[in-house]
Every structure is written in C-alpha cells, then in structure tokens.
Structure 1
Amino acid sequence: MLRSVFLLTLCASVALCASEYRVKKASRASLNRLKRLINEKTEQQHSDEKKLIGVLDDSPLLVRDPTAQRHHDELAVNNLDEYFQGDVELSETQVEILEKEIVESAEDSKARRRRKVGKAPLYKRWDRTRPISYDFASSVPYSTRIKIRQAIQLWERKTCVRFQESGPNVDRLEFFDGGGCSSFVGRTGGTQGISISTPGCDVVGIISHEIGHALGIFHEQARPDQSSHITVNYRNIPIGRWNNFYPVSLSQADVFGLPYDAGSVMHYGAYGFATDPYTPTITTTDKNLQSTIGQRAGPSFLDFAAINIAYGCNQHCGYLPCRHNGYPNPNNCSECLCPDGFSGSICQYVQYTSCGAHIAVSQDSVSIYSPNHPYQFDSNSECVWLLEAPPGGKVFLEFEDVFQFGCEDTCDKSFVEVKTGPDFRVTGYRFCCSTRPTKRFQTLGNEMLVLFKGNRERSRGFKARVWSDVSPIFTTTSSTTTAATTTTTVSTTALTTVAVEESTTERLSVAVSHGVSGKEVAVKSVADAGNGSARESVSKRIANEKKNAHATSWFVLQERTF
C-alpha cells in the first residue's frame, strides 16, 4: 500500500508516468478473441434469416431523413476496433471472465429481464462513503477540464456520489486524452483512465456517458431484456461488429426493477456501426421512440435513479408521498426528485416555464403550440404542459398544421416530447425535423405531459390538438380555509370546475388555464376575502398566467371578487 501511495505521489504531475501507472487494458489479441467468440454465439442465436434481417424500411419513421445531421457521439470519434461495445475498456481479467461465462452459459430466459448497474465479481462499485478521487493528465486542456467538471456536477446534483479533484484515495480516476472517448465499467482498483479526447469527446453529454460507465452503468441497449424493446438489424452490421450489441447477462448486472429507458444517456443511437448509413442498426419496438434513442445532453431521470439505488443513496431518507413517480432526493430528504416536467416538494406541480400550463381537458378540443407558432420560436425557449382528463378519462393528442424543428438523427436539442404515462420516469416520444407525426397519442391514465425545447436554431415548432373522452362533472364553486391550507376552485361558466388543495404560499400554481375556447375562466381564492398580502400574491400569479396563456390565447383569465 505504501508503495502504491508513493508511486501515485511521484506520478501526479507527470503524464508519462501516470499512463504507465494506470490500470492496464486487455491486449488487442485478447479483445479480438472475445469479440470473435461473441460474434459466433450471436450468429448461432440468430441463424434464422428473418431475425437477421430485422425491421428495415417498412415505416416512415425508419427511413433516415436525408436532411438530418449526423448525431455526434462517442462512436463517431472512436476507432471501434479498440474497444468493447464501442467505448468500453476491459482488463485481461475481465476478458477471461467474460469468455468463460459465454462458453459456459446456457440459454436462460430470466437473464433477459434485468440489467443496468454492474455487480461483482466482474465489476465493482465505488465506496459511497468516500469521494471518488480524480485527476487530469497534462494532455487535457483547460477548456475540456471545465466540461469534465460540469459533467461531474450533473451526477453529483442528483445522486449521493461525490468526486474530489486531486483527492487522496489510491483507487481513482484519471481523465486523459487517449485519442477517443472510453472508460472502464465500475471500479477496477488503482488509477483507471477515462479518455476524453479534444476535439471530439469534449461534450458534456459524452463525458457524462463515460463517467456513467465508471460508476458502473452498462449501455442501455445491452440490457438482458433487449429483445423486448429494440430490434438489432444484424444485416446492416459487419459480422465482425455484432459483438457490440451483445446483451449483458444477469450475472454481470442488475436493473433494480427500473424500466427500459430509450432516453438514457447510455443508449446507442440508431445508426451506430451501420454498413448502410441510411438504414438503422437499432429499431425501437415502439416506433415512436426511434428519434429518442442516442441522446447525449446528459443523464436521464432513470440514469440517476439507477445510481441512487445501486449506491444506496436513499437509505437515510424516510417516506415521502412523491407524486408522478418521483422519489426522495438523497441530497435533501425533505423533497422529492421529480421526473422531467414536474416540480414541487412532492412533484405535485407542472414545471414552471415561460410558457405552458396545467390544463384540464374535456371533450371539446383545445390547442397547444410552441411560442409564436406558426412563426419561429426563440432559441433556448422551453414549455411544459400537463394535460389532465377527469378521473377515469383519457387524454388524446394529435399534431396539426406546421411542424418544423432542426433535424438530427437523435432529437436532443430542439424537439417536442410526449409522455403518455402513467409512468413518467421514462423518456417519452421525441420528435424533431419537419415530418409531422401522424399518430393519435392516447394516455393509459388520465394525465399526459408535453415538453417543448428550443435549444438550437429558431424554427416554427409545432401545434397540437388535445381533448379527453369525457367531460368534467359540474360542482358548486366554493372555498374553505384552515390555519395552513386553502382550497382554490377554478370554474368555467359552462364547462369545468377543478378544486386543488395547496399551501397558502403556493395557491394557484396548479389552478390555471382550465377551460376551452370561448369560455371565460374565473379564479377564486379565499385570499380575496381580505388578506391583502395574500391577495397581492394571487394577483401576481394570475398576471403571470395571463402572460403565459399564449398556448391557449382565447382564454379570458379574469380575477373576480366573490
């Protein structure tokens, strides 16, 4: 141990010495031997020609848009022959373990149902009670170091895992420029490298992907339940690269009961390893998820959840009645971590944005649309709509009119996303480019979430018609009060009455924008009865909602005295 610490001290500022001290990766000969073994097994499993062909161009969603820009990820940078599954480093010991497992493994249907974070003996996790030490090799420029720190902060913000630059631990990470983007999976012991080359890998989303590997996450499309969620088009992949799609076995990993997430930052894009660049190598079983896979904006809600479960991050938190599939925040047990689009201490509210709303829908359809539609939206704009049908009802959505976004193979910059629930943890259907989706979307429960992001160049965005299969039941407008809570009723003159109970400091954050075209919306609060400061707070909230009501601009939001 003393020798290890001494070597680490000597090598801390010397790039050459550091590279010699790093955990050694498997030789090219060993890696090629493993790949051949996997290729042979894959060929045997998929000897049926129909399985090899997979799904080709039988749907408009599966035809690559000729105007789409190539989505930039680690596969676009790497020499794919140097790595396992495109960007994963393996040690000689890990190669031997995998070879033995493949040779000895029997067909086991249970092994195809779980996956995500690596477990012993092949992979080890870090000690969550100690920060993960990391360093930079001299080959990493200052600008890239900033992005690496930003990627680290993404993981720290929503998990209990902590990192410490130039920390004291013998087991540590070293970021270096190895001519590609790569990482070992989990903790190997000693100094393990994460290669972040500049230019190419110096993107926060790609860096967060490689850090995800180091924390113990495999590729999402390599889950043992792969075949239930994607089809691999082996006909469009050189036989020597079939190994890149080999699913991880149950003995190597666990999913902890988390659902498959097409929007994971650990998921391949649709065209990786393709012989024909216009035909996908991965087709999602649900075709509307095709443009969701491959995002490199950052870890998804379920990526964070996997690490929090694997590292026991929530063990110290008590019960919280988190709504919309949230869970206690390991960094603040008094509040919930919420899926994208939700906010509030227990995820009870729609995320506040400069546009969007919480809308109670009925059988009379209303429209939602991106800012300024049919004209161009501003860059960096964002909207969230929570569409709610009465209990027992469903929400329906159809896109109409002009549909236009910047076009890439993966929609992770400017897009509209539809989540049909009731599990809001998973990333929804994302659409970009200029082909308007033709599907009529329907919820499983009574809530639908629609997210719009305009993070790139300005485009004309989208417009959609939404409605429910049932209308709300009339109730009498009323209000009650206690020492700490207020019941706020939002009533339309002919259609909708919705009651929400909330704290006095948060009243009206949900009860807004309820109604349909041509109907007057009146907002009533017990604060109107005489509490001047509360009345002022309510008035400001209503003014805000008036400003944000462009999505349903025919609404007349009117504060009344009751």
Structure 2
Amino acid sequence: NFNVQGMKLILLLAAAAAAYPFNNYTAYFDEDSAPASPPFIGGKLPFFPGILKNRSLNIDEDAEAALNRFHKIVGSREKLAKHKSILRSLSKAKGRLLNLVRRPALKSELLSEIANRLKGTVLDRPSVSDINKPISEYLYGGDVMVSPEDLGKMEVEAHAESFRAKRGAPIVTSTRWPKTQPIAFTFNGDIDEATRKLIRTATQKIAANTCLNFKENGAGTQLQFHRGGGCWSYIGKLSQSVQPISIDRGCEIIPIISHEISHALGLDHTQNRFDRDAFVSVNFAAVDSNMQNNFAKRTNAQNNNFGVPYDYGSDMHYGAFDFSNNKQAVLVPSQGDFINTMGQRRSLTFNDYKMINALYSCSANCPAQMTCYNGGYTSPKNCNACVCTDFFTGANCQTARQLIAISETSSYKTVYHTDYNEALYTSGNDYNWDMFNKDAVKIIKAPEGKKIKVTINKLYPAFGQLPCYLSCPFFGLEFVDNSNGDLMTTMGKIYCCTKDEGVTFISKSNILGYKAYASPGMPMDATVTYTVV
C-alpha cells in the first residue's frame, strides 16, 4: 500500500522578483521560430524558481483581523454562537453517517499513480479553504455562509437525516434572482478599485454567457461586496435588501470571484453531486472530523443537475488537496490523470454556464428549442442559435472546428510554441484567462474500430526553469478522451511538467480532443505525436 503522505508537495513562498503577467501576445506554431537560447535579465534567467514572486499569496496573516472583518458583516461572536454550534453538530452527525455508509474504496495503485504525478509539484496559490481557515467554523462547504432560514433546517438535519428539499444545483434550498431585472450589486468602502474592476469583469462574463444581467448600484436586493475575512457567499437570493459576499485578500482573481457569485446565483460545489462516486473518491482520513460535512454527498432527491455532466474542470469543483490535514489528497479522481483538472481557477467552464442557464430556465421563453448537437444548447441570448463547445461550431454545433484524420499508415504531430516577451510577462495580468495564448483546438480522429496512441515528445515551458504547478494554471496540454468519443462539454486531463515528456497513453475511442495554452509572454514548446493503433 502506498501512503500519499510521503509525497512531497512544495508550497513556493519566494521573495520579490519576476511575476506571472500576461497581455496581448504573438505566437508562432512551428519549432523553427523558437529562440536559439533563453534570454537573460540582470545575469539571471527570468524564470529561475528561487526568485519567483507569487503575489497571489498576499493573504491576511492576522487571523484575528480576518475574523473581526467577518463578524463586522454577519454578526458578533455571541450572535453567531448558535450558528457555529449547529454547524458543529451537523458535522458530527454527518461524520457518524459517513462512517456508517459504505464508500468506494481507494485503490492503492491509484494513490501511487497520483503521488508519482505530483512529486515536486508546486502550489501556485493558497486554496479558498486555506484562505478561509480563520472563519471556517462559521461556513458550510468551505465558503458558504448559511442564512438563518436554512440554518434552522440544518438544525433539524443535525438531529435526524431528514432534510430532503429538492433543489437544482444549490447546496440548500435557494431562491432564484428575477430574470426580469438586472441583479444589483454595490461595493463596500473596503473594496479597492483594482478589485472592483475584477468584480465588474466577472459579472460581465456571466451576463455575456447567460440570460442574467447585473447593474452596479441597481434597484432591488443588492449583492454587496466586502472584505469579509475570506472568500464566501450565501447560496441563492436572500430575503433582505442587502446580501453580503466577501472577496478578501487572496480572493482577487476573476475565477474565484465568479465562483462566489455563482454560489449567490444558486450553484453548489460539483463534488457534492449525487453521482460523484463514479468520478471521485473522498479520502476522509485526510479531513478533520469537523470539516467532513463539506464532502457530504447529496441525494438524488436533493440534487438536480439538469443533465449537465460531471466536470472535473468546473470552477465549482474543489482541488484535490482542499481541507487536507496531512498533505494527502482528499479528492481522488477515478483516473489519476485528472488530478490537475480538479480545482482549476482559470474561468467558469462551458458546463458552469450551462448549469446557470438551466437553473434559470434561460431559453424557456423561446417558441421552440434549437436542435443542438455535441453538447450544445439553445442560446440564452438568441432563440435561433446554439451555444457550442470549443470543439464545434455551426448553426447546430455539427461542424468540427479543426478535424485531423489520421490513417493506419500515417501519424500526426501538433507543435505548439510561444516566445518569451518581457513586457507581457511583467504586465501584471496574472490569471487573466482571456489574455492567455491558446493553440487552436483540434479533433484527432482515427478510423472506426481503431484507437490513438498519444506521445508527449516535448513539453518545455519557460526554458525548463519553472517547476510543475498543481492544476497547471499557467501552461498545459489538455486531452479530452472519453470511451464513447464524446468531446461535448467536459474538460480533459492536463499535463504541464517537463517530466511529462515521454508520457504515452492509448485513447479510449477513435476520437480525441486536443488543446494547449500558455500565459502570454511565457515561452513554451510542446510537441505531441498521434499514431493509429
């Protein structure tokens, strides 16, 4: 048996120097364009790990100060004493239940596979569960503040597992926001202008991909953004004029902001779905007993996913090590290669937007639903159009964006290259997925009845000077590989380490999806060969 605790997981806490910034870019997709030698700045490579500055680690070191900011918004310690007591009781009740329920066994070979993948891996930033530690006893699911109404229902559940309210995507019974008027939002005075800009962008992205709209200082119940001691939100719309949502230090990137707004809209965490056991196992031995309720699976009666498939890459999915108390993985994917897909914080995904649109019945007023293929669905903005995945386009999502057919006597090679650009690399746009350099998506197809052998020949980011990052936030190769050839909606397995050079796997069908990405300004070279087998 393999003990994952023996795995080295390094948290890089380095002093000032090069950051990870991105802006516009120039990309070249042939090996000949690669520079002959890496650039030097001040006698040092700009990517040398010892001089990295990870500005995202600028979280509040004073736990008491964070706790005080939290109480200033939601109520005093005395006022919330019962709140905390109910959550503790629920944790104990859930813990007893989880110990009684037979859970899928963790396979030692899978743990070993994951541990080998993660040797030497670096965490690029603290998780939301890390940021929220000072206030964790007041939160449910790691970042959910529970309303008084739902707290009463939880008190009943803590004494008897009888809470069975039907809900679509949310963790507790939620009220949807009206579609007939924009969702109003405001800023508390402690939110600086840089963070306000990010929040505005997050609302604009959700509005662009759903039937919902947002308006700063609008009428009606307002989402009020605070620095409230961490990253947290209520679920759904509250029955009060102002609904707080916290974006504190460490939370100021668009994907985390979008995650918290999505909670306010009514979305649950992905790993709590009723069907999660087919995709992940929970290593409860690595979770404190008072935190185990965060992984309590919903029942079919409690959870409606509207036919949206389980997506390891959802912005609403925890990372593998969230809530770990012993450096072991808590969420263990059924296939170890998805370890880097879980917990991605680059953007809301196709399925995240699809879930919001389903929850709010965004196309319900259309006279007829479009016939959309390959996972597409009727647009929330245009009843006569489909929303398609990255791999497909056309009126009905039937046209592959780029189809590469290979035969038994041929092979195909993808080559991805981006140049180093100091100005872009130091521009400060960390984690800005819109500015990432992305290779054109490709569908690789072998003859019917055959499969595809994939070989990563080269994966060389930043001239080999960067370590591996958990969840591959800055660069990676993604392969969507499903047994039925389904390239519809879910994210695939991701590789982003130089040590992955030489990795080979056989596809599950004759169809494979490919994507590649790198932060603008960051050099990267990758070569992958596809052969029919």
**Shorter-chain TM-score: what band?**
0.7 to 0.9
1:497-536 equivalences under 5 Å are none
Structure 2 residue 353 is the aligned partner of structure 1 residue 304: yes
Deviation at 1:131, TM superposition (A): 1.3
Distance 1:189 1:276, change over 3 A: same
Deviation at 1:389, TM superposition (A): 3.3
Deviation at 1:51, TM superposition (A): 6.3
SS of aligned partner of 1:89: coil
- Higher Rg: 1
Answer whether contact 1:71 1:408 (CA < 8 A) is retained: no
Match of 1:101?
157
Deviation at 1:104, TM superposition (A): 3.4
Structure 1, 34-43 or 143-152: larger mean CA deviation: 34-43
Answer whether contact 1:152 1:208 (CA < 8 A) is retained: yes
Match of 1:359?
404
Q: What CA distance in whole angstroms lies between the structure 1 residues aligned with 2:137 and 2:72? A: 22
Q: What CA distance in whole angstroms lies between the structure 2 residues aligned with 1:217 and 1:223? A: 11
Q: Which of 265, 271, 280 pairs up with 2:329?
A: 280
Q: What CA distance in whole angstroms lies between the structure 1 residues aligned with 2:527 and 2:156? A: 55
Answer whether contact 1:269 1:282 (CA < 8 A) is retained: yes
1:480-495 equivalences under 5 Å are none
Structure 2 residue 457 is the aligned partner of structure 1 residue 401: yes
Deviation at 1:306, TM superposition (A): 0.7
Q: What CA distance in whole angstroms lies between the structure 2 residues aligned with 1:385 and 1:155? A: 23
Deviation at 1:128, TM superposition (A): 1.4
SS of aligned partner of 2:494: strand
Distance 1:155 1:48, change over 3 A: closer
Structure 2 residue 83 is the aligned partner of structure 1 residue 30: yes
Q: What CA distance in whole angstroms lies between the structure 1 residues aligned with 2:225 and 2:196? A: 9
Answer whether contact 1:393 1:468 (CA < 8 A) is retained: no
Distance 1:429 1:52, change over 3 A: closer
Q: Which of 365, 369, 373 pairs up with 1:316?
A: 365
CA root-mean-square deviation: 3.3
Q: What CA distance in whole angstroms lies between the structure 1 residues aligned with 2:385 and 2:508? A: 27
- AA aligned opposite 1:134: F
Q: Deviations over 1:389-431 (max 9, x none)?
A: 3673444141232233452111233111111231421111122
Structure 2 residue 515 is the aligned partner of structure 1 residue 451: yes
Structure 2 residue 473 is the aligned partner of structure 1 residue 412: yes
Q: What CA distance in whole angstroms lies between the structure 2 residues aligned with 1:179 and 1:134? A: 19
Match of 1:133?
184
Q: Which of 170, 176, 182 pairs up with 1:118?
A: 170
Deviation at 1:115, TM superposition (A): 7.5
Match of 1:68?
122
Structure 2 residue 437 is the aligned partner of structure 1 residue 381: yes
Match of 1:538?
none
1:79-478 equivalences under 5 Å are 79=133, 80-105=136-161, 117-118=169-170, 122-169=173-220, 171-190=221-240, 191-197=242-248, 199-277=249-327, 279-317=328-366, 318-351=368-401, 357-372=402-417, 380-389=436-445, 392-405=448-461, 407-420=468-481, 421-436=485-500, 438-444=503-509, 446-455=510-519, 458-468=522-532
Q: What CA distance in whole angstroms lies between the structure 2 residues aligned with 1:306 and 1:465? A: 35
Q: What CA distance in whole angstroms lies between the structure 1 residues aligned with 2:341 and 2:167? A: 20
Answer whether contact 1:402 1:460 (CA < 8 A) is retained: no
Size of the aligned set, in residue pairs, is 437
Q: Deviations over 1:299-342 (max 9, x none)?
A: 11111111111111112333434332211211123322111233
Deviation at 1:73, TM superposition (A): 3.4
Q: What CA distance in whole angstroms lies between the structure 2 residues aligned with 1:174 and 1:107? A: 30
Q: TM-score, normalised by structure 2?
A: 0.74
Structure 1, 394-403 or 183-192: larger mean CA deviation: 394-403
Q: What CA distance in whole angstroms lies between the structure 1 residues aligned with 2:83 and 2:494? A: 40
- AA aligned opposite 2:385: E
Distance 1:139 1:307, change over 3 A: same
Structure 2 residue 92 is the aligned partner of structure 1 residue 39: yes
Q: What CA distance in whole angstroms lies between the structure 2 residues aligned with 1:161 and 1:24? A: 34
Could you say which structure has the greater relative contact order, defined with CA pairs below 8 angstroms and 6 or more residues apart?
A: 2
- AA aligned opposite 1:371: Y
Deviation at 1:154, TM superposition (A): 1.4
Q: What CA distance in whole angstroms lies between the structure 1 residues aligned with 2:225 and 2:92? A: 31
Deviation at 1:96, TM superposition (A): 1.9
SS of aligned partner of 2:340: coil
Match of 2:41?
none
Q: What CA distance in whole angstroms lies between the structure 2 residues aligned with 1:414 and 1:73? A: 19
Answer whether contact 1:75 1:86 (CA < 8 A) is retained: yes
SS of aligned partner of 1:59: helix
Distance 1:361 1:207, change over 3 A: same
Q: Deviations over 1:44-67 (max 9, x none)?
A: 433589968775874332343324
Match of 1:488?
none
Answer whether contact 1:387 1:448 (CA < 8 A) is retained: yes
Q: What CA distance in whole angstroms lies between the structure 2 residues aligned with 1:287 and 1:452? A: 20
- AA aligned opposite 1:301: F
Distance 1:223 1:127, change over 3 A: same
Q: What CA distance in whole angstroms lies between the structure 2 residues aligned with 1:138 and 1:334? A: 43
Structure 1, 45-54 or 393-402: larger mean CA deviation: 45-54
Q: What CA distance in whole angstroms lies between the structure 1 residues aligned with 2:354 and 2:265? A: 13
Q: Deviations over 1:125-164 (max 9, x none)?
A: 1111221111111111111110001111111111101111
Q: Which runs of 5+ in 2 are unaligned?
A: 1-70, 426-435
Q: What CA distance in whole angstroms lies between the structure 2 residues aligned with 1:367 and 1:460? A: 20
Structure 1, 137-146 or 35-44: larger mean CA deviation: 35-44
SS of aligned partner of 2:385: strand
Q: What CA distance in whole angstroms lies between the structure 2 residues aligned with 1:401 and 1:204? A: 33
Q: What CA distance in whole angstroms lies between the structure 1 residues aligned with 2:284 and 2:192? A: 39
Deviation at 1:94, TM superposition (A): 1.0
SS of aligned partner of 2:498: coil
